[in-house]
């Protein structure tokens, strides 16, 4: 077939590192760029900076095959690539709402200034709608007209813990383009994904659209997922008030294929690097565009989500017989085991993690908190150094008056409540993710409280 373009990924964080490695695996010649020399050295040495199943092996294999390397040299990056993917972070601004685009601006400017031939710059980072147009202007300002450098947008939808598969086998590819050349170039840059699908007898739907729609697809998808989670957590609140059981309710409504059973797990709510910040940035952008009213419900989605944390504190106070003052319950003199720190299982990511937030709230309210997480301890220690971290479930639970399960790791689900009951000082458990077998725990003598369950 036609020769494949050489591709670069600017920014080797979660997104860029995963993409660079997976695209090499698909057979592309790949260069990953980052300003962080330490990260680049590690990657070149075969060390993945994040915990993501399967990624280490792919990194080493593709480094060895000579298809993949990493660099801090922007001129080299500019010279290498036919297609440059912008994968830098777009964190929440200091004002807590909009997205900070300074990394996008810096990387695009630096790249554009070094380009000496026609190339395609493709945005992948999650950005406010309108950013692609702005990037196009920025590129125009920093490259001579006769080079004909073009811009496109192609959002990604990868989930932590499934990132490798989500990149190699995406459930769709969305591209926002302005010219046939950009469309063809981007198709060639994705051809490896379509080819792999063909060998596995699958199809990857391709949506070709304009800049604004491509940008919106990403935030709309995340807003929908966040809304689905908050919807079921709102139902949990109603169940709590009425004696219903949200887990059965979710199962029952999920059988309707129009609703579907995924992302209907009621519990401590959503966290992570994407959903919370994306729904806030989306609201801020809609406000700027004069469409704020349309997204007002996302504010409620956010509030419902945050209320789940207070609910865990309430359940803990109930079980421990602590009364709430105006500042919330007082937990001084109690020892609480917190199982889970990451924002979901199978990751070491603790960014905006509800589990860690609750652990910190419990500690602030006077509890002696002992946290155990199978992967997230190192990162958690950095963000919440005031907490005490344990090396095992048993260590955390030993002597605890109360156990709070706040991330649904398989290790916690599979833990034996009889054994843990012998270690704990009090057999009281808050199941913040509805992931334990309530009957089993109750039979082992535990006082059990779930979320949205009687
Ligand atoms: C999300 C999107 O799924 C992904 O498409 C996008 O590219 C990035 O953001 P991720 O942040 O990896 O991915 O996590 P996800 O699996 O979506 O979970 C987000 C949060 O929602 C987690 O804290 C999880 O515990 C919570 N969640 C998820 C629920 O509380 N209930 C559910 O039913 C599902």
Task: Tell how far the Cα of 430 is from the centroid of ligand 1, in angstroms.
Answer: 22
Work out which ligand 1 atom sits closest to the CA atom of 271: 23
Task: Note if 274 is an active site residue.
Answer: yes
pLDDT tens digits for 425-438? 999 999 999 999 99
pLDDT at position 1 over 80: no
Rounded to an integer, what distance in angstroms lies between the CA atom of residue 404 and that of residue 446?
12
Rounded to an integer, what distance in angstroms lies between the CA atom of residue 190 and that of residue 231?
35
Rounded to an integer, what distance in angstroms lies between the CA atom of residue 437 and that of residue 442?
9
If one counts every other C-beta atom within 10 angstroms of the C-beta of residue 43, the result is: 24
| pLDDT for res 96 | 72
Task: Tell how far the Cα of 321 is from the centroid of ligand 1, in angstroms.
Answer: 33
How far, in Å, are 106, 235, 253, 444 from residue 259 at the CA level?
A: 42, 14, 7, 36
Mean pLDDT for all residues in the chain = 96
DSSP lists the bridge partners of residue 152 as 122
| pLDDT for res 427 | 98
Residue 267, ligand 1, Cβ within 6 A: yes
Task: Tell how far the Cα of 95 is from the centroid of ligand 1, in angstroms.
Answer: 24
Work out which ligand 1 atom sits closest to the CA atom of 274: 9
| pLDDT for res 131 | 96
Residue 269, ligand 1, Cβ within 6 A: yes
Work out which ligand 1 atom sits closest to the CA atom of 268: 30
Residue 270, ligand 1, Cβ within 6 A: yes
**Ligand 1 atom 30: residue of nearest CA:** 269
Residue 308, ligand 1, Cβ within 6 A: no
| pLDDT for res 317 | 97
- Residue 53 DSSP symbol: T
pLDDT at position 73 over 60: yes
pLDDT tens digits for 371-421? 999 999 999 999 999 999 999 999 999 999 999 999 999 999 999 999 999
Is residue 316 exposed (0-12), middle (13-18) or buried (19+ Cβ within 10 Å)? buried
Beta strands in 319-446, from DSSP E residues, in sequence order: 324-325, 328-329, 335-339, 368-372, 388-389, 402-405, 428-431
| pLDDT for res 92 | 84
Smallest CA-to-CA distance from 153 within 137, 180, 170, 130 is with 130
pLDDT tens digits for 194-217? 999 999 999 999 999 999 999 999
Q: Is 368 helix (H, G, I), strand (E, B) or coil?
A: strand
Task: Tell how far the Cα of 188 is from the centroid of ligand 1, in angstroms.
Answer: 30
Residue 246, ligand 1, Cβ within 6 A: no
Q: What is the band of 447 on the pLDDT scale with cuts at 50, 70, 90?
A: very high
Given 239, 274, 404, 435, which residue is catalytic?
274
For residues 22-38, average pLDDT = 97
Smallest CA-to-CA distance from 129 within 207, 19, 13, 220 is with 220
Smallest CA-to-CA distance from 334 within 311, 308, 313, 350 is with 313
pLDDT tens digits for 160-186? 989 999 999 999 999 999 999 999 999
Work out which ligand 1 atom sits closest to the CA atom of 269: 30
pLDDT at position 159 over 70: yes
Residue 222, ligand 1, Cβ within 6 A: yes
| pLDDT for res 93 | 86
| pLDDT for res 97 | 74
Among residues of the chain, what percentage have pLDDT more than 70? 99
| Range in 86-100, 159-173, 243-257, 309-323 the model is least confident about | 86-100
The answer to whether the beta carbons of residues 91 and 99 sit under 8 Å apart is: yes
Residue 274, ligand 1, Cβ within 6 A: yes
DSSP lists the bridge partners of residue 251 as none
Among residues of the chain, what percentage have pLDDT more than 90? 93
Work out which ligand 1 atom sits closest to the CA atom of 221: 5
> Structure pTM?
0.94
| pLDDT for res 2 | 57
pLDDT tens digits for 265-302? 999 999 999 999 999 999 999 999 999 999 999 999 99
pLDDT at position 330 over 90: yes
If one counts every other C-beta atom within 10 angstroms of the C-beta of residue 390, the result is: 18
Residue 272, ligand 1, Cβ within 6 A: yes
- The C-alpha angle with vertex 92 and arms to 91 and 93, in degrees rounded to 5, equals 110
Sorted by where each starts, the structural domains of the chain and their CATH numbers stand as 7-209 (3.40.50.720), 305-450 (3.40.50.720)
Q: What is the band of 50 on the pLDDT scale with cuts at 50, 70, 90?
A: confident
| pLDDT for res 327 | 81
Task: Tell how far the Cα of 40 is from the centroid of ligand 1, in angstroms.
Answer: 28
Helices within 200-339 (DSSP H only): 211-242, 246-254, 275-288, 296-320
- Residue 92 DSSP symbol: B
| pLDDT for res 386 | 93
Residue 157, ligand 1, Cβ within 6 A: yes
Task: Tell how far the Cα of 22 is from the centroid of ligand 1, in angstroms.
Answer: 21
Element (H, E) at 83: strand 83-86
């Amino acid at each position: 077939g036609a020769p494949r373009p050489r591709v670069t990924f600017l920014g080797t964080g979660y997104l860029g590192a995963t993409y660079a490695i997976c695209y090499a695996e698909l057979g592309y010649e790949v260069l990953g760029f980052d300003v962080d020399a330490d990260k680049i050295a590690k990657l070149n040495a075969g060390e993945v900076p994040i915990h993501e199943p399967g990624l280490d092996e792919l990194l080493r294999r593709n480094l060895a095959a000579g298809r993949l390397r990493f660099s801090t040299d922007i001129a080299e990056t500019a010279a290498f690539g036919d297609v440059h993917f912008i994968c830098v972070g777009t964190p929440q601004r200091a004002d807590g709402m909009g997205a900070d685009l300074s990394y996008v601006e810096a990387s695009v400017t630096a790249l554009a200034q070094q380009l000496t031939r026609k190339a395609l710059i493709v945005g992948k980072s999650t950005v406010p709608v309108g950013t692609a147009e702005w990037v196009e202007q920025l590129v125009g300002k920093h490259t001579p007209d006769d080079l004909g450098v073009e811009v496109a947008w192609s959002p990604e939808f990868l989930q932590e813990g499934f990132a490798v598969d989500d990149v190699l086998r995406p459930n769709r590819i969305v591209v926002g383009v302005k010219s046939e050349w950009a469309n063809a170039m981007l198709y060639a840059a994705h051809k490896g994904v379509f080819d792999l699908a063909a060998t596995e007898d699958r199809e990857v739907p391709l949506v070709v659209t304009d800049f604004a729609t491509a940008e919106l697809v990403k935030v709309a998808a995340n807003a929908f997922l966040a809304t689905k989670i908050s919807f079921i957590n709102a139902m949990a609140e109603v169940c709590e008030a009425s004696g219903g059981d949200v887990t059965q309710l979710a199962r029952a409504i999920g059988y309707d294929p129009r609703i579907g059973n995924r992302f209907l797990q009621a519990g401590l709510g959503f966290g992570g690097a994407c959903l919370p910040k994306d729904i806030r940035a989306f609201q801020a952008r809609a406000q700027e565009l004069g469409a704020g009213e349309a997204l007002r419900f996302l504010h409620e989605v956010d509030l419902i989500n945050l209320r789940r944390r207070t609910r865990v504190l309430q359940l803990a106070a109930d079980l421990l017989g602590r009364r709430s003052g105006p500042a919330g319950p007082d937990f001084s003199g109690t020892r609480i085991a917190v199982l889970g720190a990451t924002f979901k299982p199978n990751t070491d990511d603790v960014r905006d993690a509800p589990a860690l937030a609750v652990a910190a709230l419990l500690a602030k309210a006077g509890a002696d908190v002992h946290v155990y997480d199978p992967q997230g301890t190192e990162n958690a220690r950095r963000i919440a150094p005031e907490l005490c971290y344990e090396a095992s479930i048993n260590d955390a639970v030993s002597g605890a008056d109360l156990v709070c399960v706040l991330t649904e790791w398989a290790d916690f689900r599979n833990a034996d409540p009889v054994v843990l009951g012998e270690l704990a000082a009090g057999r009281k458990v808050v199941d913040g993710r509805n992931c334990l077998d309530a009957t089993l725990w109750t039979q082992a003598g535990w006082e059990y409280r779930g979320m949205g369950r009687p």
